[in-house]
């Protein structure tokens, strides 16, 4: 039991992101929902339309994925599977959760609809054995069996690359599906969401690059926010104005980050001004600190670039790159990442300068 408590509760990260994105549209999002009057808490996500007996609004439909966006139910129960495969037990549990939930709130059957949301892509034979044989839309399957005819299976990697599927597909296992979701978020959503949503998505991006930490301790929603807040502060000092305009443009997100960095610099400047009398004695320490921070920032940026461009094979170079403490060499690696088509050329960019 103790080991289980240390696992990352992926449904809480999933629900935490949806809460930030969807709640402003009038949809209540809850995790660990009580499904009866006196139950233990279960790993169920609830999405509730705040305005009963009304269809989804245009604003809400912008964030609801295929399958859920077609539902007319007022309450949506989601059993999210990130690390576990689909099983008979999972399907039977979903039926029980829905039944307990309806009875505890005296709801009609049509008021509630349940969804199995799967991050892994189940084998077709497994899906068919569980009764999800009716393709409704890409990644959405219906069940023709008694008691399950209203339930739906959502396979995140198979969902269409539509903007309204982006926030669900961010949790897909397949790398291509996640990259498509990130691209859709950048084009269709980034300028409209809050800073907290951006930080959480950057945190997810960072979480994908973690090779060992996620197995050592549970990752929480607060961790995602912390990762997301740290990445811009590490990367921004390494990007020129020309690169900003070329890669990111003058987006609201970058404007906010620039303002944050500017305010932090002003605060730091004031503090250093008060210590002017001791400035000379501290100059050497500050220079060392700046260089150390620059090295750490370059290494983090290179790690992110290797992951995005080459995947797990790129991360295999990290042990060698982490031994490099020369700013000039690290910048050469960063530059090579923009144009080098192979890992061999990346390795040559720093071996040639050693």
Q: Please state, as a whole number, how many other Cβ atoms lie within 10 Å of the Cβ of residue 67.
A: 24
At residue 342, φ and ψ (nearest 5 deg) are -130, 160
100 found inside a domain: yes
pLDDT for the residue numbered 241: 53
Instruction: Mark whether 26 and 144 lie in a shared domain.
Output: yes
Structure tokens that stand for 294 in this block? 């620059």
pLDDT for the residue numbered 77: 92
Range of the domain at 103: 2-193
pLDDT for the residue numbered 136: 96
Instruction: Mark whether 189 and 302 lie in a shared domain.
Output: no
pLDDT for the residue numbered 229: 62
| Domain limit, last residue, from 142, 172, 193 | 193
H or E stretch covering 144: none
What is the C-alpha separation between 203 and 184, in angstroms, rounded? 17
| Residue corresponding to tokens 């990442």 | 337
pLDDT for the residue numbered 274: 60
What is the C-alpha separation between 224 and 285, in angstroms, rounded? 32
261 found inside a domain: no
Question: How many domains is the chain built from?
Answer: 2
- Residues facing 78 on adjacent strands: 45, 115
pLDDT for the residue numbered 202: 78
pLDDT for the residue numbered 212: 39
For residue 156, with 0-12 CB atoms within 10 Å meaning exposed, 13-18 middle and 19 or more buried, which class applies? buried
Instruction: Mark whether 169 and 300 lie in a shared domain.
Output: no
CB 126 within 8 A of CB 86: yes
CA atoms within 13 A on the CB side of 152: 24
202 found inside a domain: no
| Residue corresponding to tokens 């790690």 | 303
CB 112 within 8 A of CB 77: yes
pLDDT for the residue numbered 41: 39
| Domain limit, last residue, from 152, 174, 193 | 193
| Domain limit, last residue, from 130, 163, 193 | 193
Could you list the pLDDT tens digit for every one of the 354 residues in the chain?
Answer: 334 444 567 777 888 888 888 888 888 888 766 554 434 334 678 888 887 778 899 999 999 999 999 999 999 999 988 888 888 888 888 888 888 889 888 999 999 999 999 999 999 999 999 999 999 999 999 998 888 899 999 999 999 999 999 999 999 988 889 888 888 888 898 888 888 888 788 777 767 664 433 433 455 667 666 656 665 554 444 455 555 455 555 555 556 666 666 666 666 666 665 655 455 555 655 566 667 767 777 777 788 777 777 777 778 888 888 888 888 888 888 888 878 888 888 888 877 665
Instruction: Mark whether 326 and 184 lie in a shared domain.
Output: no
Instruction: Mark whether 56 and 184 lie in a shared domain.
Output: yes
Cα-to-chain-centroid distance, residue 280: 45
What is the C-alpha separation between 203 and 221, in angstroms, rounded? 9
248 found inside a domain: no
Q: Please state, as a whole number, how many other Cβ atoms lie within 10 Å of the Cβ of residue 268.
A: 10
Name the pairing type of β-strands 140-142 and 112-118: unpaired
Q: Which of 190, 45, 67, 173 lies closest to 120 in space, CA to CA?
A: 173
68 found inside a domain: yes
pTM beyond 0.85: the answer is no
């Amino acid at each position: 039991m103790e080991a289980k408590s240390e696992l990352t509760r992926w449904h809480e990260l999933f629900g935490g992101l949806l809460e930030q994105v969807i709640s402003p549209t009038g949809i209540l999002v809850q995790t660990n929902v009580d499904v009866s009057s006196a139950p233990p808490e279960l790993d169920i996500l609830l999405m509730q339309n705040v305005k009963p007996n009304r269809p989804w609004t245009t604003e809400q439909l912008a964030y609801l994925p295929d399958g859920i966006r077609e539902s007319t139910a007022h309450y949506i129960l989601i059993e999210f599977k990130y690390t576990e495969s689909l099983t008979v037990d999972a399907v039977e549990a979903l039926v029980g959760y829905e039944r307990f939930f309806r009875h505890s709130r005296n709801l009609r059957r049509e008021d509630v609809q349940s969804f199995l949301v799967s991050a892994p892509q189940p084998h077709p034979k497994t899906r068919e054995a569980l009764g999800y044989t009716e393709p409704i839309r890409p990644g959405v399957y219906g069940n023709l069996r008694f008691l399950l005819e209203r339930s739906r299976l959502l396979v995140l990697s198979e969902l269409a690359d539509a903007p309204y599927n982006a926030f669900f597909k961010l949790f897909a296992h397949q790398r291509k599906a996640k990259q498509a979701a990130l691209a859709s978020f950048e084009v269709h959503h980034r300028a409209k969401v809050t800073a907290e949503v951006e930080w959480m998505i950057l945190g997810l991006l960072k979480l994908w690059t973690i090779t060992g930490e996620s197995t050592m301790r549970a990752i929480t929603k607060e961790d995602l926010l912390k990762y997301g807040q740290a990445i811009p502060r590490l990367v921004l000092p390494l990007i020129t104005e020309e690169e900003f305009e070329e890669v990111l443009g003058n987006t609201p997100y970058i404007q906010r980050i620039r303002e944050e960095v500017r305010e932090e610099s002003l605060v730091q400047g004031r503090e250093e001004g008060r210590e002017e009398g001791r400035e000379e004695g501290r100059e050497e320490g500050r220079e060392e600190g700046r260089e150390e921070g620059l090295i750490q920032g370059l290494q983090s940026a290179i790690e992110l670039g290797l992951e995005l461009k080459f995947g797990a094979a790129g991360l295999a170079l990290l042990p060698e790159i982490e031994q490099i403490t020369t700013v000039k060499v690290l910048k050469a690696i960063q530059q090579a990442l923009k144009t080098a088509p192979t890992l061999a050329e990346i390795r040559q960019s720093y071996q040639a300068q050693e």
